């Protein structure tokens, strides 16, 4: 069966510090991968998606970036965090034929 | 751009009542539509997936309908239980969008014993 992992579960970082969030998927090959953010009092917003290794598309201009160094690994990064980057970050993968998406447990990021 | 609206924003019912959650979307060129459940501080759990060619999908006490032409989907939860308390999210994916989901703001459900 397929499993999706995210770490860390929670993170508190000062403004201006770097960020690296990791997501890995087990039990499937060549999945589409997605990063979403859920800010306090706001809905889920798609940040990045990837259809293959090294192929990243950005949905929202911001100081975040994403990379996919391996087939089942998706990384969200920032060189300098802003207060507005605080939120709940969710990674997801999708089944290619049906398109059904499955979400990880999320990372709660607080920028102070 | 796809706009997704969920009504009501919040709902409180006594245990045993049936729940009706509504979702509307502006672009009917969808590939599929998913309903999710989110518990506080947790990730999303997929409840039902309806393909654009389907009219409804059922899983246990859950039934979701889809009227693509009118841009509406409804999630029915029969005989609600306190464990059904959560936020329910609707998310259609447009055709040729690589599966990108557009989420509604959700309906927060409280089922009281």
DSSP states of B11-49: EEEETT--EEEEEEES---EEEEEEEEE-TTS-EEEEEE
Q: How far is B46 from chain A (nearest CA, A)?
A: 7
**Among A32, A46, A90, whose Cβ lies nearest the Cβ of B44?**
A90
pLDDT tens column, A34-82: 999 998 877 899 999 999 999 999 988 678 999 999 999 999 999 999 9
Listed by number, the residues of chain A in 6-35 with a beta carbon closer than 8 Å to a beta carbon of chain B are 32, 34
A chain contacts of residue B41, beta-carbon cutoff 8 Å: 88, 108
The distance of B112 to chain A (nearest Cα, Å) reads 24
Mean pLDDT of B95-103: 85
How confident is the model over B10-22, as a mean pLDDT? 97
A34, A57, A100: residue with CB nearest B34: A100
Using a CB–CB cutoff of 8 Å, tell me whether A102 touches chain B: yes
Contact B31 A99 (CB under 8 A): yes
For B96: left if phi > 0, alpha if psi spans -120 to 50, otherwise beta; the answer is: left
User: Which residue in the block uniquely carries the two structure tokens 């969030």?
Assistant: A21
* Mean pLDDT, residues A12-35: 95
B88 → chain A, closest CA residue: A43
Phi, then psi, of A19 in degrees rounded to 5: -140, 140
B26-82: pLDDT as tens digits: 999 999 999 999 999 899 999 999 999 999 999 999 999 999 999 999 999 999 999
- Per-residue pLDDT reduced to its tens digit, B33-45: 999 999 998 999 9
Q: Please tell me the predicted confidence (pLDDT) of residue A40.
A: 81
Burial class (CB in 10 A: 0-12, 13-18, 19+), B112: exposed
Paired residues of A107 in beta bridges:
A89
- Residue in chain A lying closest to B104 (CA): A43
In angstroms, what separates the C-alpha of A49 from chain B's closest C-alpha? 8
Structure tokens at B92: 């259609």
Which residue, chain included where needed, has tokens 């590939």? B31
Can you tell me the mean pLDDT for A6-32? 95
- ∠ CA B48-B101-A67, rounded to 5°: 120
Q: Give the one of B41, B46, B106 whose C-beta lies nearest to A101's C-beta.
A: B46
Residue A39: how many CB atoms within 10 A of its CB?
A: 13
B100:A59 CB<8 A: yes
Query: Residue B84 — φ and ψ, nearest 5°?
Result: -80, -5
pLDDT for the residue A61 = 66
């Amino acid at each position: 069966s397929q499993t999706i992992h995210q770490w860390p579960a929670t993170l508190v970082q000062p403004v201006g510090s770097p960020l690296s969030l990791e997501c890995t998927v087990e039990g499937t090959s060549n999945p589409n991968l997605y990063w979403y953010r859920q800010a306090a009092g706001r809905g889920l917003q798609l940040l990045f998606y990837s259809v293959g290794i090294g192929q990243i598309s950005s949905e929202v201009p911001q100081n975040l970036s994403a990379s996919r160094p391996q087939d089942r690994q998706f990384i969200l990064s920032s060189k300098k965090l802003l207060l507005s980057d605080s939120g709940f970050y969710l990674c997801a993968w999708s089944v290619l034929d049906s398109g059904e998406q499955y979400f990880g447990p999320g990372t709660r990021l607080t920028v102070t | 751009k796809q706009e997704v609206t969920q009504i009501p924003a919040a709902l409180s019912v006594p245990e045993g009542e049936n729940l009706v959650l509504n979702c509307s979307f502006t672009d009917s060129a969808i590939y599929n539509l998913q309903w999710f459940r989110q518990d506080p501080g947790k990730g999303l759990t997929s409840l039902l997936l309806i393909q654009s060619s389907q009219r409804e999908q059922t899983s246990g006490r859950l039934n979701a309908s889809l009227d693509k032409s009118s841009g509406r989907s409804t999630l029915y939860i029969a005989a609600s239980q306190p464990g059904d308390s959560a936020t329910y999210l609707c998310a259609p994916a447009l055709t040729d969008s690589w599966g990108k989901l557009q989420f509604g703001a959700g309906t927060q459900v409280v089922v009281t014993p």
